[in-house]
Structure formats: C-alpha cells, structure tokens
C-alpha cells in the first residue's frame, strides 16, 4: 500500500497496462507529459517505468520526458512538449496568439522568449523560434498556466498583442494589426489594457498610433 495514495501497486501481479492508465494519471494530477518523479505518488519507480517503456505503455518523447501511448494527442501537443523541455521559456508572439485564440494565423514553429545570454534550444520534437528578453520584459504581463498538464509561462493577451506590434519586423505587420483588431473585437483585451501594457513595454506612442489607425 503506497503511503501517499493508498493504492496497492505490485508490479508482479498487476497487468502492465493497469499500472499506469490515462485515468489513473489524471487522478494523480499528471498531465499529458510527465517526468519520472511525477510518478512517485503512484509508487512507480524508474525501473518499473523502464519496463513500461519496453512494453509500449509509455513512450519516451525526449530526454527525461515521457507520455502515455494511450493518451490522446491534443492540438497543443507540440507546444506542451516544447515547454516541458524548455521550462525557462515563455510562450509568446504567434504561439501565444494561438493559445489565447486571437487571430487566424497558425505558426508551424513554437515561439518562445528566453533570457538574454541563454542558448536557443534545439529540439527534435518541434521547430522552435526564439526571441530574447531581459529585465522586466521577462515578467511584465507573463502568466503561469498549464498546457496539457505542463507548467508553462505565457504572455497574457495584452502583452502578446503589444509584443506583436513592437516586434512586427520579425512576424510581419499585417499579423500584428490583425491580432490587435481581433483581440479588441473579441474582447480579449481593452484599449486601455493595451495602452497600459504598451507604456510598460516602452511603445506607448506606437500602440496609440496603431489603435487610432484602426479606429479611423
């Protein structure tokens, strides 16, 4: 009997597929992706995990990162897998727009902000596009959430739109204007929220000009 969960876990008698199922993982608070330590409350040690991998119950996605083969692959699978491998990254720009449901553009890359001085990650599970932030830009308008169970940092809607405008040289101005228009139209943000965020990010005049252009 495991002291944390009250579950009887005996690998020799329990069928492999029943040791770790999507429903058991969900009850234990384990998302689509997990690390070996996440299985400790279920009494599943690393040797048992290796056996589950050999038997096809668990798939190794990347170094130190696993998923249940029976788990459904969601629309945010690649984003979640990337965030699990790059925990210091902040989901931003086009990928943040996608998560927030703003605009229509879908990027084939996962956009992440990382601290200045950090090396850009190279992953086999996704194409990653990075921008580098420093100081307050690493925290202003940045929220913590979960994507497919993976703890994730992401720019909020106002910060995301402001970033699209101030960094339109790398994502194209048309996309930035669409994000601002759709964000306001669908009430993801307000004009005041955008202007406050733009001031915090040092682009107040630029944002005010673009809002005035939309209103004209």
Position 14 scores a pLDDT of 52
Residue 153: name the closest of 98, 84, 75 by CA: 84
Position 10 scores a pLDDT of 45
Position 17 scores a pLDDT of 54
Task: Give the pTM.
Answer: 0.80
Judge contact between 44 and 9, C-beta under 8 A. yes
Residue 142: name the closest of 158, 128, 131 by CA: 158
Position 117 scores a pLDDT of 92
As beta bridge partners, residue 133 has 115
Position 19 scores a pLDDT of 76
Distance, CA of 68 to CA of 53 (rounded, Å): 9
For 118-201, where are the alpha helices, taking DSSP H only? 157-166, 168-171, 173-185, 191-200
Domain boundaries, the chain: 16-68, 77-215
Alpha carbon distances (Å) from 95 to 19, 67, 105, 164, 200: 35, 22, 9, 11, 22
As beta bridge partners, residue 68 has 58
Q: Which stretch of DSSP H or E encloses residue 215?
A: helix 204-215
Backbone angles phi, psi at 72, to 5 degrees: -70, 145
- One pLDDT digit (tens) per residue for the chain, 216 residues: 444 444 444 444 455 556 788 888 888 878 778 889 889 888 899 899 999 999 999 998 777 888 888 887 888 989 998 998 899 999 999 999 999 999 988 899 999 999 999 999 988 888 999 999 999 999 999 999 989 878 899 999 999 999 999 999 999 999 999 999 999 999 999 999 999 999 999 999 999 999 999 987
Distance, CA of 152 to CA of 62 (rounded, Å): 17
């Amino acid at each position: 009997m495991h002291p944390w969960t009250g579950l009887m876990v005996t690998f020799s008698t329990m069928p492999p597929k029943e040791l770790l199922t999507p429903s058991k993982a969900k009850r234990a608070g384990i998302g689509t992706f997990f690390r070996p330590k996440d299985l400790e409350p279920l009494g599943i040690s690393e040797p048992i995990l290796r056996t589950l991998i050999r038997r096809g119950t668990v798939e190794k996605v990347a170094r130190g990162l696993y998923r249940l083969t029976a788990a459904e692959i969601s629309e945010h699978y690649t984003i979640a897998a990337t965030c699990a491998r790059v925990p210091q990254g902040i989901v931003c720009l086009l990928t943040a727009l996608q998560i927030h449901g703003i605009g229509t553009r879908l990027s084939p890359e996962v956009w992440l902000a990382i601290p200045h001085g950090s090396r850009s990650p190279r992953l086999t599970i996704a194409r990653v596009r990075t921008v580098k932030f420093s100081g307050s830009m690493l925290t202003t308008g940045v929220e913590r959430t979960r994507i497919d169970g993976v703890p994730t940092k992401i720019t909020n809607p106002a910060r995301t739109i402001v970033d699209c405008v101030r960094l339109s040289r790398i994502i194209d101005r048309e996309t930035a204007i669409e994000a601002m228009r759709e964000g306001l139209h669908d009430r993801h943000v307000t004009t005041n929220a955008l202007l406050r965020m733009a001031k915090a990010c040092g682009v107040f005049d630029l944002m005010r000009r673009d809002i005035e252009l939309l209103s004209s």
